[in-house]
Structure 1
Amino acid sequence: MKVLLNPKDNENLKALYNRAFKRAEEIYIATAFLTDWSFSQKPKKDCKKFVALVGTNFGLTRKAACQSLLDWLPRNLRGNVFAFPSNENTFHPKVLIWKERKECFALIGSSNMTSAALSENYEINSFSSIKQEEYERIVQWFNGCIKLSDPISKSWIARYEESKIGGKRVKGEITLDQIDLNIKLPWEKDFKDLLNEREYKQELFKEKKAKILHLLRSNATGSMSNAAFWTEFTQLWHRRWEEEDCFRFQGSGVERICTKNINWREATTALIDIIENEKKMSLLDLDELVAKKIDLLAKRKNPARKAWLSEMLCQFFPKKYPVLNDPVKTWIKKNEWSLDRGGTEGQKYIDLARRLRSVVRQNSNYVKDLAGIDTLIWRICPPKKKKSKKL
């Protein structure tokens, strides 16, 4: 183990960060607060994963620093920058871990991501190689924190309120206050009934889940044709929306796009791969898999990748993935939540999923998952009425 004693060793500390950015294929960073990001060395082109966790206690983290970090990252790596909310327990780590070829390294100490901590402050940090088992333990700690965190984006930065630092203080004034990024849903009289109805549909889906999985696997493996799959699937799914045995979340718009003539095998293969890996992967890795599957279907111009696939993901994993529909898109615009990180369809969908998970956390007193959020969004931002054939 090597010990770095700042300010004497501050250049060595910066050199370790630059080494990680230059060589690592995976990087995880956690800092209690972020006030400066001015590294010139960027992650290498084949860096597969960059994860950053930033604390927000007392509003000490600076907006400009968050934006600098996003701007510094290559577009394909911007999706895993998170803010740990101040209404949870205090977030106080200062750690950098990375994989370099087949070796794992850790830099842990007292230095936050500030210009002072990396220069004139008196800090102590330690650097060493670590075993793969220890690296994985730390990654699991990151994954646990990510589940409680909000994705940092331009929209998040716009809502975030910094604390006041320095200047004259008025007697009794509290300048270091806890910051609460409110994403509260308005409560309306019929919300309880809507949530009960949605939960009833979810129970219906559970009853038919085994049959649906059988159809998905039969089509994915090639033992059932695309046309036969769609015919049998619609017998389970395409009912009149108002009928008691209908478990679908969406209206009739899906079948205007999805027909028996599209390549269902591509879509069912993607969905089965996600389903079979869900319990094996961390949420972070599962998000990346979902994004890749959606992008692959987008590349092949498969129309099942949006409304149909997102509904299936929400049905199978209601706490993780949302339905992508017109009311959700309208609600995003209404809240000025531009999906501004990444750029691909898959990355934007995961960005949406992470933001809606935050909404669930902040409204957990009456809504339990993204399926519930979806039905409330339909009530708040109802879809425009379109003439359609009855199911």
Structure 2
Amino acid sequence: MELIFLPHQADQKSLKSYYHRAIAESKELYIVSAYLTNWDIEEKLGTHCEEFMMVVGEDFGLTRKAACESVLKWLPIRYKTQLFAAEGIQGFHPKAMFWRETDGKCYALIGSSNLSVAAFSDNHEINGFTAISEESFQQAKAWVLGLEPPQSAVVDTKWLEGYVEAARQPKPSKKGTNGAAGENDDGGSYAVEYVLPLPTDLEMLDSILRARRTAMRAFKANRDDLEKLFRDAAGAARWSPNKNLAFYDSLRELWSMDGGSRFQAKGWEIKGKHGDHRELSRSLVRVLDAPGVERDLVVVREINRMSDIVLETRGSLFTEMLCQFFPSVYHVANSPIKGWLRASGLVRPRGLSEGDKYIYAARHLRTALRRTKGYPAKNLAELDALLWYAEDARANG
């Protein structure tokens, strides 16, 4: 292990040089810091970097908006939604960076330095740089990916508008308040208000949620058969129009409005009948088989892949399957979601891929449910039903 002592000694590499190396050479890069007050890295993230994630703490309002804006400006388009604030984590104090270089070797930089000017120059700090094993890298990667929403929040323009910086020295703040906006229990303040629909008619609210939960139970009863249908199609060595139609007929029997398991209204049957169901099945099986902490990455990759081959069912069918199989973390891509994003003032960064747009919405929905104490919908599948109700209510005046 190489030790980096600060203030910087003449015979040592600077701490920043290790960041430059990781940024220039990494194939995968993960950065965590208890707070972020400065980001003046000029080295561009290499095009060979396939995975990136950065999580910063916001306890006591120490993280600075300007530094977050510098990171967002620095990040290439494909990673504009990969900066997170650990607002839902009590006591977030790590200072570390883990990366895999293009030759496959893995490294870690761990120590006492946060991402601040003083921590890289004047403070008395100690950090260690070392090569790590594949097993250790996978453990570190899983730990960092486990910090994704709802444990954290996407740092974007809307988040920065509501985030409250500390004026001077850190000091404990009041305990968090209920509702969609308030203060984090561990001291970081935020004021982003998510607009979640709530029918005032309690009888109507109960009816909506009861119907959605009934549909989820109906799906669960056929889940094993549905999964086998998708796995058989995904693994088929040969595929033909007849097999495609047979799959379509089997899917309609197992997942239908008549059977009570469908979330969506009619319409998919016409558009989806002649889609390539083997390709869709391959994407879904890859998501089903992905480790939980890596599932968002796989979802992005597969939606983008289906977009590239112009598979229309990647929206209506694929995202409902995601919502049905993983109701706590994925939603159905539909017009109510777009309306909700607009109503909450959330503007996705320009240039995002289709997969990144989907995950951007999913992460904000997870954060909204975490923040809104006592909200009747307990997962994204139930929230979907209330969003549909709200859109219908607006449409009907």
Tell me which interval the TM-score lies in, with the shorter structure as reference length. Answer: 0.7 to 0.9
* Corresponding residue of 1:265: 278
* Corresponding residue of 2:255: 237
Cα distance in 2 between the residues matched to 1:254 and 1:160: 41
How far did residue 55 of structure 1 move?
A: 0.3
SS of residue matched to 2:266: coil
* Corresponding residue of 1:333: 342
CA displacement, residues 345-370 of structure 1 (integer Å, 9 cap, x when unaligned): 11111111111111222236433211
* Corresponding residue of 1:389: none
Question: 1:141-156 maps to which residues of 2 (within 5 A)?
Answer: 141-147=143-149, 148-156=151-159
* Corresponding residue of 1:157: 160
How far did residue 115 of structure 1 move?
A: 1.7
CA displacement, residues 46-75 of structure 1 (integer Å, 9 cap, x when unaligned): 012111111011111112211211221122
Question: 1:38-77 maps to which residues of 2 (within 5 A)?
Answer: 38-77=40-79
1:114 and 1:342, CA in 2 relative to 1: closer, same or farther beyond 3 A? farther
Unaligned runs of 5+ in 2: 170-185
* Corresponding residue of 2:180: none
Cα distance in 1 between the residues matched to 2:303 and 2:145: 22
Cα distance in 1 between the residues matched to 2:40 and 2:16: 11
Instruction: Report the TM-score when normalising by structure 2.
Output: 0.85
Instruction: Report the TM-score when normalising by structure 1.
Output: 0.86
CA contact (8 A) 1:58 1:179 kept: yes
Cα distance in 2 between the residues matched to 1:311 and 1:371: 9
* Corresponding residue of 1:170: none
CA contact (8 A) 1:35 1:60 kept: yes
* Farther off after superposition, 337-346 or 319-328: 337-346
* Corresponding residue of 1:214: 228
1:42 and 1:282, CA in 2 relative to 1: closer, same or farther beyond 3 A? farther
1:341 and 1:5, CA in 2 relative to 1: closer, same or farther beyond 3 A? farther
1:214 and 1:40, CA in 2 relative to 1: closer, same or farther beyond 3 A? same
* Corresponding residue of 2:8: 8
SS of residue matched to 2:307: helix
How far did residue 143 of structure 1 move?
A: 2.7
Cα distance in 2 between the residues matched to 1:342 and 1:335: 20
SS of residue matched to 1:79: coil
* Corresponding residue of 1:108: 110
* Corresponding residue of 2:265: 251
What is the identity, as a one-letter code, of the residue corresponding to 2:243? Answer: S
CA contact (8 A) 1:327 1:382 kept: no
How far did residue 22 of structure 1 move?
A: 1.3
CA contact (8 A) 2:24 2:43 kept: yes
Question: 1:1-391 maps to which residues of 2 (within 5 A)?
Answer: 1-9=1-9, 12-85=14-87, 87-100=88-101, 101-147=103-149, 148-165=151-168, 178-180=188-190, 181-183=192-194, 185=196, 187-188=198-199, 189=202, 190-220=204-234, 221=236, 222=239, 225-239=243-257, 245-258=259-272, 260-275=273-288, 277-278=289-290, 281-283=291-293, 285-340=294-349, 343-363=352-372, 365=374, 366-382=376-392
* Farther off after superposition, 60-69 or 334-343: 334-343
Cα distance in 1 between the residues matched to 2:29 and 2:227: 36
What is the identity, as a one-letter code, of the residue corresponding to 1:373? Answer: L
1:5 and 1:341, CA in 2 relative to 1: closer, same or farther beyond 3 A? farther
Cα distance in 2 between the residues matched to 1:211 and 1:205: 10
SS of residue matched to 1:306: helix
Cα distance in 2 between the residues matched to 1:179 and 1:301: 43
Cα distance in 2 between the residues matched to 1:286 and 1:131: 23
How far did residue 341 of structure 1 move?
A: 6.4
* Corresponding residue of 2:176: none
* Farther off after superposition, 361-370 or 113-122: 361-370
How far did residue 108 of structure 1 move?
A: 1.4
CA contact (8 A) 2:197 2:387 kept: no
SS of residue matched to 1:158: helix
Cα distance in 1 between the residues matched to 2:143 and 2:372: 25
How far did residue 142 of structure 1 move?
A: 1.4
1:273 and 1:137, CA in 2 relative to 1: closer, same or farther beyond 3 A? closer
RMSD: 2.5
How far did residue 15 of structure 1 move?
A: 0.8
Cα distance in 2 between the residues matched to 1:18 and 1:191: 53
